């Protein structure tokens, strides 16, 4: 797609794929630059060097370095044995199931655990504070807490399922 001397400019195709991932990543609450970097690598048939990414996306060295690191940690990209020079080249992990799985695991699982703790604690606290409210109100509160627990357990069952389907 890109010719040798054409390092500094995104092709329209690349730009579109970059936008796709920038948007996805923003939705997930990750830095946009990370999505852009991944998108560019994903849109490239051959592995890309650091400087190419820096120039095409017009990002600072720092951002590129950080972004590559995070993507590596997520398992979204891999280093490919450099050919001629000493520069590293980066290729996309195309199995996105793994990628999405990792993101879910890193964000959603800790989230669900925090919520589990809180709901368990809320159960205890409600029992302790029960005396302070009327029986009717207590019943209403218990019902609400029950609803929260129901959602929580649904989320727990649905989310791994979704992970598998995608």
Partner DNA sequence: GATTCAGTTCAAAATGAATTGAAACGAGAG
Partner DNA sequence: CTCTCGTTTCAATTCATTTTGAACTGAATC
| Cβ proximity to DNA, 69 vs 117, nearer residue | 69
Backbone angles phi, psi at 7, to 5 degrees: -65, -30
**CB burial class (10 A; 0-12, 13-18, 19+) of residue 84?**
exposed
- Cα separation, 163 vs 166, in Å, equals 6
Region near DNA per CB under 7 A, out of 6-14, 86-94, 97-105, 154-162:
86-94
**Residues in 144-163 at the binding interface with a copy of itself, rule: CB under 8 A:** 144-145, 147-148, 151, 154-155, 158, 162
Could you say which DSSP state residue 65 is in? H
- Cα separation, 81 vs 153, in Å, equals 45
Nearby residues of 46 by Cβ (< 8 Å), 6 or more positions away:
89, 91
| Cβ proximity to a copy of itself, 84 vs 134, nearer residue | 134
At residue 49, the 3 state secondary structure works out as strand
Region near DNA per CB under 7 A, out of 23-31, 95-103, 104-112, 129-137:
23-31
> Where do contacts with a copy of itself occur on this chain (CB under 8 A)?
1, 3, 11-13, 16-17, 19-20, 23-24, 27, 29, 42-43, 45-46, 92, 94, 96, 107, 111, 114-115, 118-119, 121-122, 125-126, 128-129, 132-134, 136-138, 140-141, 144-145, 147-148, 151, 154-155, 158, 162, 165-166
């Amino acid at each position: 797609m890109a010719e040798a001397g054409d390092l500094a400019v995104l092709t329209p195709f690349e730009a579109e794929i970059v936008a796709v991932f920038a948007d996805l990543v923003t939705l997930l609450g990750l830095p946009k630059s990370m999505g852009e970097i991944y998108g560019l690598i994903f849109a490239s048939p051959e592995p890309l060097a650091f400087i190419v990414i820096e120039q095409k996306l017009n990002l600072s060295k720092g951002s590129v370095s950080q972004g590559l690191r995070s993507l590596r940690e997520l398992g979204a990209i891999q280093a490919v044995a450099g050919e001629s020079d000493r520069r590293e080249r980066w290729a996309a992990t195309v199995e996105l199931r793994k990628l999405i799985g990792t993101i879910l695991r890193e964000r959603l699982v800790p989230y669900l655990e925090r919520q589990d703790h809180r709901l368990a604690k809320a159960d205890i606290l409600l029992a302790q504070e029960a005396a302070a409210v009327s029986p009717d109100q207590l019943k209403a509160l218990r019902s609400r807490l029950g609803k929260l627990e129901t959602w929580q357990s649904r989320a727990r069952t649905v989310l791994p399922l979704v992970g598998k389907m995608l």
